[in-house]
Copies of this chain bind each other. A is one copy, B any other.
Amino acid sequence: MAEQTEQACPINPVVDLLFSRWTTPIVWVLEHHGRLRFNELQRLVPSITPKVLTQRLRQLERDGLVIRTYHAEIPPRVEYEISDLGRTLVPVFRTLHDWSGAHLPQVAAARRAYDTAQEEEAAWAEG
């Protein structure tokens, strides 16, 4: 199935890579705060649980977007930072951010229009 979906939409692989849940907040925070320790990340990415944070960080590390550095001290210290490859996402994120600024209000308006149309339709069906 994945292969066929890929064929129908060439950006599907990059969507899976970059926009699975929690990945953008983590990359964004690392991009803006530099090196961070696990607990700092957990504080800066609100309401993420340690389990899920670990999962996503491992995935991002494997994908080469994030670098994990383990310092064998007592107590142990682990630092996460964005990689050069991860930094190539900055213009991508800016594109998305720009699109948001320009067009999210239109989306909000479309939703309002759709919802009121639905309500009117329901009211009409009612009586």
A88 & B92 in contact (Cβ 8 Å cutoff): no
For the complex, is A50 an interface residue (Cβ under 8 Å from B)? no
Copy number of this protein in the oligomer? 2
Q: How far is the CB of A92 from chain B (nearest CB, A)?
A: 5
Residue numbers in B under 8 Å from A44 (CB-CB):
8
The size bracket of the interface on A is 35 or more
Sample of 16 more A-B contacts, CB < 8 Å, known A18-B96, A63-B107: A5-B25, A5-B47, A8-B25, A8-B29, A8-B46, A9-B24, A9-B28, A9-B29, A12-B24, A15-B96, A62-B111, A64-B106, A65-B107, A85-B106, A88-B102, A92-B99
Q: Please report A residues at the B interface, Cβ cutoff 8 Å.
A: 1, 4-5, 7-15, 17-19, 24-25, 28-29, 44-47, 61-65, 85, 88-89, 91-93, 95-97, 99-100, 102-104, 106-107, 109-111, 113-115
